Chain A
Amino acid sequence: MTRELNWPVIRLLMIKDWQLFQKQLAAHLLGGIVALAFLGMAKPWAFYIGSLLLIILLVAVACFAVSTSLLVERKEQTLAFVMSLPVSPLDFTVAKLAGNLLTFLVPFLVMALFTAIIIFSTPLPDGLVVLAALVFGHVLVAYCISLAVAMQVESEGWNLFAMIGSMVLINPFLMLIGQMDSVQSVLRGNAVIWPAPALAILGAQALIGLACLAFALWSNGRKPAFY
C-alpha cells in the first residue's frame, strides 16, 4: 500500500478549512483586540476584564476550530464529499491536522504575540508574561486533546466532554499556579524570570500536546480505508 502523501490535494484541503473558518477568525481577532485593549489600560479592573475576555476568546478559538473542521463536517455530512476526492486516510488525516492547526495557531499566536507586546509596552509588570505563557500553554494542550478526541471519536457527547472538560480545567490550573510561591514571586516583578516549576509545566504542556497530535496522526493515518 502506498504511503506517499498527495500534497497538492492536502494543501487544497487545508486552504478549504482556512476559508471555512475565515469569518469566525475575523470575529475572534476583533474580540482579541478588545481584550488586549482592556489589558493595555493597566488598571486592576480592566486587567481582570481583559484577561477574562482573552481566556474566553482563546477557548472559543480552540473549540470553534475543532468544531468547524471536524464535528460540523461530520454532522452536516460534508465529510463524505471530501473523502470521495482522491485522498487516502493518511492524506485526509494530515490535511485535517495541519488545516486545523493552521486555523487555530494563527489567531492563537497573534493573540499570544500581542499579549506579550501589551505586557512589555504598558505599566503592567513584565513578569506577567510567565503567567500568560502558562495560560496560553494550557489552552494549547486542551485544544490538542480536543482535536485528538475529535479525530478519534464520532460521538458528539464525548467530543463536547473532551472540549469542555479540558478547557474548564484552566480554573484549577490557575489555582495551582496561585499556590506556587516561586511562580507567584516573579509575576509582579519587572524582570522576566522563568522559575523551574513554570518551565516544567510548559515542558509538560508541550509533551502532552505533541503526544496527542502524534497519536491522532498514527491512529488515523494507519487505517487502510475510511470505514
Chain B
Amino acid sequence: MTAAFVLQGVSKHYPQFSLSDFSLTLPEGQIMGLVGVNGAGKSTLLRLLTGLAAPSSGDIEVLGHRLPEAQVAAKRKIGFAAEDMRLYRGQTLAWHIELVRRIYPEWDSAYAASLLRRFDLRADQSVGGFSHGQRVKALLLLCLARRPQLLLLDEPTTGLDPVARAEVLESLAEVLRDEHRSVLFSSHNTHDVEQLSDSISFMHQGRLLASADKERFLDEWRRVLCVGDVPDALDAWPELVQRRAAGSQIELKFRRWQDDLPERLAQVGLSVQRIDPMTLEDIFVTTVRAGGRQ
C-alpha cells in the first residue's frame, strides 16, 4: 500500500492548544473525512500536512517527502484550500489563474476551463465581487486544475448556503473520482463527510478518537431501545458506550455490534424494543462524549 501521508506520534504545542501523539495514515487514492468540532485541531493538522507548521515532535511524510524540511517539493504535488484562505480582492480570477499556472507546470488549462463552466464562474470578474460560495469554488478551481496528487481541504463547505453547499459537494464528488488522487477534507458537518468519504477520522481536543472505513463505522454502531431494570453489570460491557433513560425506555449505544447482543440483553433482563443503525453524526457525538474510549 502506498501512503499519501503518514503521521507518526506527531505533537504540536501552542500556548492555548496542543495536538498530542497523533498517528494517522491515508492510503493513496482514498478520500478521508476529518470530523471534529471547532477547535478540535483539524486546521492544525492540515497545516502540519502542508508543511506550513512544524511539529513539536514526531514524523510527517507526505507523498514521500519529509515535512517540513521538504515542504517545497511536497507542496508542488499538494492542493490546499482552507475556509479562511482568501484571494486578492482587487484582482480577477483570471489573474489568480495566471499566477498559479505559471507556478505549476502540471496546470491543466482545459480542465480549468471546464471547471470554470461547471462552477459557473467568470474569469474576468474581480474576486472582491464574489459571494462566499463563488470564492470557495474559485479556490477549488485553483487547487484542482494544478492536478495535485493530494488534496487537502479545510472546512470547504463551512458558511455556504444550502444551494452552494450542494453544488460544491456535487462538484467535489465528480472531481474526486480520480483513483490516484488522495483527499483529506475536514469538516464539523458529518453529512458532508458521509457523502464524500471512503474513510473517516474523528478528532477532539487535539487527539485522534477513531479512524476507520465509513462502512465499518456505520456497521459497527447500533442504538438499542429496551425496557426493564438495568443491571449494574451492564456498564462493564466493553461494547456499551452510552446508556441513558429515554422516557420509559432505556437507550443503549453500542460499538462493535454483535448479532448475539439482543440475546445477551434478554439474558440480563432487558427486553429489546427496537434496534437502529446510527447516523455518522450520532456516532461522532457519542464517541466525543465517551472521550474516545475504545
Q: Which residues of A contact B (CB under 8 A)?
A: 1-2, 6, 8-9, 12, 16, 19-20, 76-78, 80-81, 83-88, 91, 224-227
- Can you name 7 A-B residue pairings with CB atoms under 8 Å? A8-B103, A84-B78, A86-B71, A86-B72, A91-B72, A225-B51, A225-B68
A85 to B51, CA, bound (A): 11
A20 to B68, CA, bound (A): 29
Interface centre among A6, A78, A84, A85 (most CB of B within 10 A): A84
Write out the residue numbers on chain B whose beta carbons fall within 8 Å of the beta carbon of A86: 71-73, 75-76, 103-104
A225 to B80, CA, bound (A): 16
Write out the residue numbers on chain B whose beta carbons fall within 8 Å of the beta carbon of A20: 88, 90-91
A18 to B96, CA, bound (A): 14
A84 to B80, CA, bound (A): 6
Write out the residue numbers on chain B whose beta carbons fall within 8 Å of the beta carbon of A80: 52, 82, 84-86
Chain A residue with the shortest CB-CB distance to B80: A84
Write out the residue numbers on chain A whose beta carbons fall within 8 Å of the beta carbon of B103: 8-9, 12, 85-86
**Are A1 and B86 in contact (CB-based, < 8 A)?**
no
A226 to B12, CA, bound (A): 13
Write out the residue numbers on chain B whose beta carbons fall within 8 Å of the beta carbon of A227: 47, 52-54
A83 to B85, CA, bound (A): 10
- Residue in B69, B82, B86 whose CB lies within 8 Å of A224: B69
- Residue in A8, A81, A91, A225 whose CB lies within 8 Å of B53: A225
Closest Cβ of chain B to A11, distance in Å, is: 10
A226 to B50, CA, bound (A): 10
Q: Which residues of B contact A (CB under 8 A)?
A: 47, 50-54, 68-73, 75-76, 78, 80-82, 84-91, 95, 99-100, 102-104, 139
Write out the residue numbers on chain A whose beta carbons fall within 8 Å of the beta carbon of B82: 80
- Residue in A12, A16, A19, A84 whose CB lies within 8 Å of B50: A84
A105 to B50, CA, bound (A): 34
Say whether, besides A76-B89, A83-B52, A16 and B69 are in contact (CB < 8 Å).
no
Closest Cβ of chain B to A76, distance in Å, is: 5
**Are B52 and A226 in contact (CB-based, < 8 A)?**
yes
**Are B84 and A2 in contact (CB-based, < 8 A)?**
no
**Are B70 and A2 in contact (CB-based, < 8 A)?**
yes
Write out the residue numbers on chain B whose beta carbons fall within 8 Å of the beta carbon of A226: 52-53
Write out the residue numbers on chain A whose beta carbons fall within 8 Å of the beta carbon of B71: 86, 88, 225
Write out the residue numbers on chain A whose beta carbons fall within 8 Å of the beta carbon of B100: 85
Interface centre among B53, B71, B76, B102 (most CB of A within 10 A): B71
4 other contacts beyond A12-B102, A19-B95, A77-B85, with CB at 8 A cut-off?
A78-B87, A80-B82, A225-B52, A225-B54
A83 to B91, CA, bound (A): 18
Closest Cβ of chain B to A222, distance in Å, is: 12
Write out the residue numbers on chain B whose beta carbons fall within 8 Å of the beta carbon of A8: 103
Interface centre among A1, A81, A91, A224 (most CB of B within 10 A): A81
Chain A residue with the shortest CB-CB distance to B152: A84
Write out the residue numbers on chain B whose beta carbons fall within 8 Å of the beta carbon of A77: 84-86
Write out the residue numbers on chain A whose beta carbons fall within 8 Å of the beta carbon of B102: 12
**Are B88 and A224 in contact (CB-based, < 8 A)?**
no
A86 to B139, CA, bound (A): 16
Chain B residue with the shortest CB-CB distance to A90: B72
Say whether, besides A225-B68, A225-B71, A84 and B87 are in contact (CB < 8 Å).
no
**Are A87 and B72 in contact (CB-based, < 8 A)?**
yes
Interface centre among B72, B81, B139 (most CB of A within 10 A): B72
A35 to B84, CA, bound (A): 42
Chain B residue with the shortest CB-CB distance to A23: B90
Closest Cβ of chain A to B129, distance in Å, is: 15
**Are A81 and B72 in contact (CB-based, < 8 A)?**
no
- Residue in A76, A78, A81, A84 whose CB lies within 8 Å of B75: A84
A76 to B75, CA, bound (A): 22
Write out the residue numbers on chain B whose beta carbons fall within 8 Å of the beta carbon of A85: 75, 100, 103
Closest Cβ of chain B to A10, distance in Å, is: 11
Which 8 A-B pairs have CB atoms at the shortest separation, nearest pair first? A225-B54, A227-B53, A225-B68, A86-B75, A77-B86, A84-B80, A1-B69, A80-B85
Write out the residue numbers on chain A whose beta carbons fall within 8 Å of the beta carbon of B99: 12, 16
- Residue in B52, B53, B68 whose CB lies within 8 Å of A84: B52
A1 to B47, CA, bound (A): 18
A227 to B90, CA, bound (A): 27
A78 to B102, CA, bound (A): 18
A225 to B212, CA, bound (A): 30
Write out the residue numbers on chain A whose beta carbons fall within 8 Å of the beta carbon of B78: 84
Chain A residue with the shortest CB-CB distance to B104: A86
